Amino acid sequence: MDKNKLVFSGVQPTGNLHLGNYLGALKNFVTLQKQTKCIYCVVDLHAITVFQDPNELKNNILETTAGFLATGLDSKKSIIFNQSSVSGHAELAWIFNCIARVGWLNRMTQFKDKAGKDKEKASVGLYIYPNLMAADILLYKATHVPVGADQKQHLELCRDIAQKFNTDFKKNIFPIPEPLIQKNISRVMSLRDGTKKMSKSDESGYSRIDLKDSADDIIKKIKKAKSDSSFIPDNLKDLEKKPEALNLISIYSDLLEISLEQVINEVKGKDYSYLKNKLSEVLIEIICPIGKEIKNLLEDKNYLEKVLKEGTEKARILAVDNLKEVRNVVGFI
Ligand code: AQP
């Protein structure tokens, strides 16, 4: 256990957790939990940057918590809580709104992607979301943040904010957090469009494998997944021209923890139905037990609320101490 390292990461409670969340985040969270102290947060303040139905949001917070536990996170080892229950996140985010520069935020590509064409109608929260993410991390003085490719730019901004704060106030208050980039783990793409990432908010349920999907759902979705009419090529270069086919092969390799080359060697020259059958089998073996556990945990909402409450208490102790220091440095009484 590395005592100098503190990991922070969050997941938005915006819908059902899916295979992308599992391979891109949760699976790694469990590995990190064995190596160091970790804080895993259900980031409900981030979720409301886009309107959420209040009842659905409540359910999604519990469902995301169940997803954390079902994939193997242990609330005795890691701090598991929901962001809005520790008010320091919002308080520090305001201070960071006054540290970050408009030009920095204007460069954030995720805002441009999520706001779409009509950015005048996007919430201000969506625009300043990266400042809140910086506050999430720095409120605990976290030193390491597991990030996917899509979050790398936001972590850079967090580092800029930490640096500017330390320089402006001439005190080394915040560590400059390091990204933890997973080796060999690709972005999981939509099953319907290999150029778009698999996402909770995609309208088509056929675009993703949800962790709660039954074996039948998985078989159906993989059968319907876009692939290619020709045979599976024998090299990565040719495969890269077919994003949907490459996505299926990448998922298979991530699940089995073997290289893309090894998978290509196994399936080259075969048609995609062969790969799809194999992939469905592996998905059923790995994902269905997690889905069953999520459903079991959701039967006892009081237990999930208790886990969040206990995590909140632990998080609050760290947050209050750090915020006191920050308030003092800024000049608040
Ligand atoms: N398709 C993906 N492939 C790999 N990693 C992914 N993650 C999400 N989708 C993929 C990783 O999961 C963690 C939690 O993500 P999040 O739910 O907080 O936000 P997101 O990235 O915006 O996920 P979605 O599914 O696309 O949500 P919506 O649709 O609500 O915006 C992150 O570490 C993320 O990298």
Summarised one tens digit per residue, pLDDT across range 36-94 is: 999 999 999 999 999 999 999 999 999 999 999 999 999 999 999 999 999 999 999 99
Which residues of the chain does CATH 3.40.50.620 include?
A: 2-186+301-330
Asked about 114 being catalytic, the answer comes back as yes
Whether 37 contacts 74, CB under 8 Å: no
Position 53 scores a pLDDT of 97
Q: Is the pLDDT of residue 119 over 90?
A: no
Summarize the confidence of residues 177-200 as an average pLDDT.
87
Neighbours of 264 (CB within 10 A): 18
Position 184 scores a pLDDT of 61
Q: What percent of the chain has pLDDT over 70?
A: 98
Which residues of the chain does CATH 1.10.240.10 include?
A: 205-296
Q: Is the pLDDT of residue 235 over 90?
A: no
CA-to-CA distance for 219 and 17, rounded, in angstroms? 18
Q: Which residue ranges have their beta carbon within 6 Å of ligand 1?
A: 11-12, 14, 20-21, 24-25, 148, 150-151, 187-188, 197-201
Report pLDDT digits (tens) over 148-173: 777 889 999 999 999 999 999 999 99
Domain 205-296: CATH architecture, name and number where available: Orthogonal Bundle (1.10)
Chain centroid to CA 207 = 18
Alpha helix ranges (H) inside the chain: 19-21, 27-35, 44-47, 54-71, 88-97, 102-106, 109-115, 124-138, 152-168, 215-224, 236-239, 243-256, 260-267, 272-298, 301-330
Domain 2-186+301-330: CATH architecture, name and number where available: 3-Layer(aba) Sandwich (3.40)
Whether 209 contacts 24, CB under 8 Å: no
| Residue 114 alpha carbon, nearest atom of ligand 1 | 31
Task: Report the mean per-residue pLDDT for the chain.
Answer: 94
CA-to-CA distance for 329 and 318, rounded, in angstroms? 17
Position 185 scores a pLDDT of 64
Residue 242 DSSP SS3:
coil
The pTM for the full model equals: 0.94
Summarize the confidence of residues 125-136 as an average pLDDT.
97
Structure tokens at 117: 């064409």
Residue 140: which of 163, 169, 160, 162 has the closest Cα? 162
Report pLDDT digits (tens) over 257-311: 999 999 999 999 999 999 999 999 999 999 999 999 999 999 999 999 999 999 9
